[in-house]
Structure 1
Amino acid sequence: MSEQDDGRSGHARGVTRRQTLGIGGALGLTAATGLATAAALARRPSFTGDELRSAVPLPPAFQVPLPIPAVLAPVSTAGSANRYEITQREATVEILPGVRTPMWTYGGTFPGPTIESRRGRPITVRHRNELPVPTVVHLHGGRTPASADGYPTDLVLPEGWPDATRTGQGGHSMGTRDMSGRGMGAHGRDAMHDPRAVVTGPTRGYTFPLNQRATLLWYHDHRMDFTAPAIWRGLAGLHIVRDDTEDALGLPAGRHELPLMIADRAFAADGSLDYPSLDPTLRNRPGVREPYLAGVLGDVILVNGAPWPVHEVEAARYRLRILNASNARHYELEVLTDDGRRIDLVQIGADQGLLAAPVTHRLLPMAPAERYDVIIDFAGVPVGARVRVVNRLGSGRTRDVMAFRVARKVTDRSRIPRVLSRDLPTWRRSDATRVREISFRAGRMHGGHGWLIDGKPFDPARSDVTVRFGDVEVWRLIADVHHPVHLHLVGFHVLARGGGRPLRHDAGLKDTISLRPGESAEIITRFDGYRGRYLFHCHNAEHEDMGMMANLEIV
């Protein structure tokens, strides 16, 4: 294998055989022969990362009931905005039956409480940080002013945080980002300074105008260098935006609408969550141990915080609001009866809301941070029968996701309209003021392995892409291995993949696109909503922490 130490080349140096296999072969081949070789892998299922194995006995599948996260009640609905309060705190919860697991939580639960809001009615969520480290809250998919978007250096410090007296006027010292662990950690003395950071503590209010389409969003920690372990420890929750137009469609609702947060985890012998951090305190030294540089996978599949759960359903249509909240694991979902009959997944929405018309899938791929709004019809399943949701990309225990058991016949008055939405944007390639080409590749950073955008690791003090407010642009995104690319603030349409047509699951308005190994894809969007500093990044959370993030300035 050739070695190159030019960080701009986007090539990894010294990749071990274990890493190469863990990344699915693509990174090693890319480092040796470039994207032409990796392009041949684009048609193969992705497997990016290495799997942790739990050291505690795991329960059988399909025995734990599916929990439904509680909907958070506002503390005030007076005036022009609803107001909510969430305390970020440590809690011990039961994930595996009979096992107590310490977690970092929003409000003491995992997932955190679900926030339900109405399109066009602002909300303010006041977070109080009682965790042992700084945090940042990002509403993923939100059309949010930059001041409340959760920029990675806009920290909320806990009381008594040792750096609190050294932040200066709105700034915060960010540490040297050496992913091999040989340099100073984040918040260290040898620091790079972000003069635009806004540091508060221990509370901060985030105001979300919610002038956006009805859809499923999610909120999670976004602290620089430590997003991956913070989400792994439990800092994630759902946010549903509703509106009158969607309510009038007659889609399955009430008990026939299920939010499903899918995430993988692994457990240590004492019942705690296992994660390969270089610094388990998450205070100084960012990064993970070498075998997991491409991403951390767990061997337990959780849905709404329960392992391989089962849910009792009626013989009717159900609307499943699905989020892949895993750090690095990809899924290809398939729904099967126990006698092997496949049930269709009828997609009605994507990351940013309803499609123009339904799209029927037999298999549905999901990358980290993607959301799909799908309907499953249990009407043809006999009472007492079981329906399994499986992951075609998994093996062993990770092949199972969850199950449904049909309990009774009912009269179902829901429907799936042939026209779902008429308000999708209709940008054309000819509308674009600019076409950009942006690469996502492995490389060298600060003396260690990293993941780079256009050959550079993230630097909050650098402007990477500047766009004019209101402009339409086409971005051509290029990957070496599998990268789910997320743009803050805006939704986009997928124009093309590999020079060809988009895939069926690319329909609708998205904010995250799953790039396959060696693949290029074109997206189109209009940069409107708000001016300010935003981000785009890979949502493989380990890649993000190891440099695969860039600044987007809307001016």
Structure 2
Amino acid sequence: MAETVMAAINRRAFIGGTIGGIVAAGLGVPIALSLQSAPTSTGNLLTSRIPLPEPFRRRLTVPPVLAPVRTDASTDHYLVRQQITRSEIIPGTMTELWTYGGSFPGPTIESRRGRSVIVTHVNELPVPTVVHLHGGRTPAKSDGYPIDFVLPSDMTYYNQQLAHRDHASAGHSAMTAGGDVSEGERTYVYPLEQRAATLWYHDHRMDFTGPSVWRGLAGFHLHRDDEEDALDLPRGARELPLMIVDRSFAADGSLLYPSSDPTLVHEPGVMGDYIAGVLGDVMLVNGMPWPEARVDGVHHRLRLLNASNARRLSLRLDPAPRGGIMQIGTDGGLLDAPLTHDHLVLAPAQRLDVVVDFGGYPPGTVVTLRNDYGNGRMGEVMRFVVGDAVEDSFTMPDRLSSVATAAETESIATRAFHFRAGDIGERHGWLIGGQPFGADEIAATVAAGSLEVWELFADFHHPVHLHGASFQVLQRGSEGPGAFDFGWKDTIDLQPGEQARIAVRFDTNPGKYVFHCHNLEHEDMAMMANILIR
């Protein structure tokens, strides 16, 4: 399926039901409709103003694993400095990045079930930040609530901008008062008493998550346990975490992003053409444009993360591998048994854990990872060059884990939430249940450890992410789960005009958490709501 770039429609129309039907409603946003098939992404293409690099000229690198600054009997302690750095992403041009530890992606944190992780983040950036461990079962104080700011250690720039607040346009940023604010640094405590899984950490500041992540504030957190170790999955050089993002570049090599407020202090969101989401025209894997990886002819484990702001991906290997692409895990960790696919679909924030047998290719084979939701250059992601076959003792087991089924009969409540475009005062935005985000408004009060059934309704694509909970997909429309819905998840790829039902387990500590659309432009323009776990 070709990429769909959203085109403007009348400001009084939006999708209210199935694809192909447009109903008069009260808001205009850029969308694209096809009578034959659903659009691939909700967003608008932002075209770079610099010649794009030739693909497959850069060698793939894997983010370094961060060493703890100290350890004790039960806990590993880390220090991360959030800082500005410059990197040659486009050959011959330097790009300013906001980074964790000076690199994009940030350094990988590895943890193990049974050991806590404590991470101190020092904010050396010009604006506040908030860190969210995506997929972590964390205390509310450490979850990265969007107004729990870590203020800059140097407040000069931020204070200068705040002095102009009277001249700023009103946005829902006015509701940021009352957060748990830290000055210069904050220590996040992660008990991580949960199954092994591919987690990631990223900025989560209210109103400005989109531009902050776009500028580089994202990194892997790989959580391991004994159950996973017993499977003898590919490790070391044969385990490749791959963070896939799209970005656009200005003429001077800087990252191009259509912020309504370039200061990233006052007015939230993006300019009107990009209200549906920002799609870039350069594909980066681990921070490199269209890289190449040389791999031995042996099984490899690929930890795939779509960290794009709005772009959905449909990935396949060309030529296809012997035995297909074997999925072993998803957002919440291992599946109960492997699944075989010929392609993989990931919405923003989703992870898929797969094994590929590169030993099935003749040495020298060039294998391209393609994105069937992309046109032209965005239809390619990276490529692998297969080396000689080497000894390979790995055999995919029939069973991977014991994954409990979320029984709908356990549900103590059923709730419905509508994710739709709407007006916020005089601005266009995105709403849950007809309401914009308010820090003091509770959309759902739930019992810790309980299970509920949530019915989710969408107008456009909305990758819905729940903090403080994990869920299983029960149903899409009148059908069961989709091909990539199995296992415990934290993000569902909600399709345009779709109704989905999920069984949600509130399996973390009491406190206030959020759920939101992980199209980051939608999130920044108010598509977020609160869960209170008691």
Question: TM exceeds 0.5?
Answer: yes
Task: Confirm whether residue 403 of structure 1 aligns to residue 383 of structure 2.
Answer: yes
Distance 2:323 2:52 in 1: 28
Aligned residues: 521
Counting only pairs closer than 5 Å after superposition, residues 40-55 of structure 1 correspond to structure 2 as 44-55=38-49
- Given the alignment, which residue of 62, 66, 71 partners 2:60? 66
The aligned counterpart of 1:301 is 283
- Given the alignment, which residue of 384, 402, 407 partners 2:364? 384
Distance 2:172 2:84 in 1: 22
Cα shift at 1:378 = 1.2
- Given the alignment, which residue of 204, 212, 237 partners 2:219? 237
The aligned counterpart of 1:516 is 495
Residues 147 and 176 of structure 2 are in contact (CA less than 8 Å); yes or no, is this contact kept in structure 1? no
TM-score by length of 2: 0.92
The aligned counterpart of 1:17 is 9
Task: Confirm whether residue 372 of structure 1 aligns to residue 352 of structure 2.
Answer: yes
- Given the alignment, which residue of 82, 85, 98 partners 1:88? 82
Task: Confirm whether residue 505 of structure 1 aligns to residue 487 of structure 2.
Answer: no
Distance 1:28 1:54 in 2: 31
Residues 263 and 326 of structure 1 are in contact (CA less than 8 Å); yes or no, is this contact kept in structure 2? yes
Give the 3-state SS of the residue equivalent to 1:543 in structure 2.
helix
1:11-44 CA-to-partner distances (Å, cap 9, x unmatched) read xxxx943989999x9899544279xxx9997952
Distance 1:155 1:356 in 2: 39
In the superposition, relative to structure 1, how do residues 465 and 142 fare at CA in structure 2: closer, same or farther (>3 Å)?
A: same
Unaligned 5+ runs, structure 2: 1-6, 27-31
- Given the alignment, which residue of 328, 342, 359 partners 1:348? 328
In the superposition, relative to structure 1, how do residues 95 and 18 fare at CA in structure 2: closer, same or farther (>3 Å)?
A: farther
Distance 1:104 1:21 in 2: 37
Give the 3-state SS of the residue equivalent to 2:24 in structure 1.
helix
Give the 3-state SS of the residue equivalent to 1:151 in structure 2.
coil
Cα shift at 1:57 = 1.6
Distance 2:13 2:101 in 1: 39
Residues 262 and 322 of structure 1 are in contact (CA less than 8 Å); yes or no, is this contact kept in structure 2? yes
Residues 260 and 270 of structure 2 are in contact (CA less than 8 Å); yes or no, is this contact kept in structure 1? yes
Residues 20 and 26 of structure 1 are in contact (CA less than 8 Å); yes or no, is this contact kept in structure 2? no
1:274-296 CA-to-partner distances (Å, cap 9, x unmatched) read 00011112121211111100000
Task: Confirm whether residue 184 of structure 1 aligns to residue 170 of structure 2.
Answer: yes
In the superposition, relative to structure 1, how do residues 371 and 18 fare at CA in structure 2: closer, same or farther (>3 Å)?
A: farther
The aligned counterpart of 1:10 is none
* One-letter identity of the residue aligned with 1:253: R
- Given the alignment, which residue of 255, 260, 272 partners 1:273? 255
Distance 1:272 1:27 in 2: 37
The aligned counterpart of 1:122 is 116
* One-letter identity of the residue aligned with 1:50: N
Distance 2:188 2:364 in 1: 46
1:236-256 CA-to-partner distances (Å, cap 9, x unmatched) read 000000111111112111111
* One-letter identity of the residue aligned with 2:337: A
The aligned counterpart of 2:94 is 100
Task: Confirm whether residue 207 of structure 1 aligns to residue 180 of structure 2.
Answer: no
The aligned counterpart of 1:431 is 410
TM-score by length of 1: 0.89
Residues 458 and 496 of structure 2 are in contact (CA less than 8 Å); yes or no, is this contact kept in structure 1? yes
Distance 1:74 1:545 in 2: 33
Give the 3-state SS of the residue equivalent to 2:83 in structure 1.
strand
Distance 1:542 1:530 in 2: 28
* One-letter identity of the residue aligned with 1:75: V
Give the 3-state SS of the residue equivalent to 1:379 in structure 2.
helix
Residues 246 and 308 of structure 2 are in contact (CA less than 8 Å); yes or no, is this contact kept in structure 1? yes
Cα shift at 1:194 = 4.1
Cα shift at 1:97 = 1.8
The aligned counterpart of 2:149 is 155
The aligned counterpart of 2:313 is 331
Residues 295 and 541 of structure 1 are in contact (CA less than 8 Å); yes or no, is this contact kept in structure 2? yes
1:120-157 CA-to-partner distances (Å, cap 9, x unmatched) read 21010000001000000000000000000000000000
Q: What CA RMSD, in Å, does the superposition of the two structures yield over aligned residues?
A: 2.8
The aligned counterpart of 1:32 is 24
Distance 2:49 2:275 in 1: 21
Residues 158 and 265 of structure 2 are in contact (CA less than 8 Å); yes or no, is this contact kept in structure 1? no
Give the 3-state SS of the residue equivalent to 1:505 in structure 2.
coil
The aligned counterpart of 2:523 is 544
Cα shift at 1:162 = 6.8
1:151-176 CA-to-partner distances (Å, cap 9, x unmatched) read 000000013437999xxxxxx9xx99
Residues 105 and 287 of structure 2 are in contact (CA less than 8 Å); yes or no, is this contact kept in structure 1? yes
Task: Confirm whether residue 217 of structure 1 aligns to residue 199 of structure 2.
Answer: yes
* One-letter identity of the residue aligned with 1:112: G
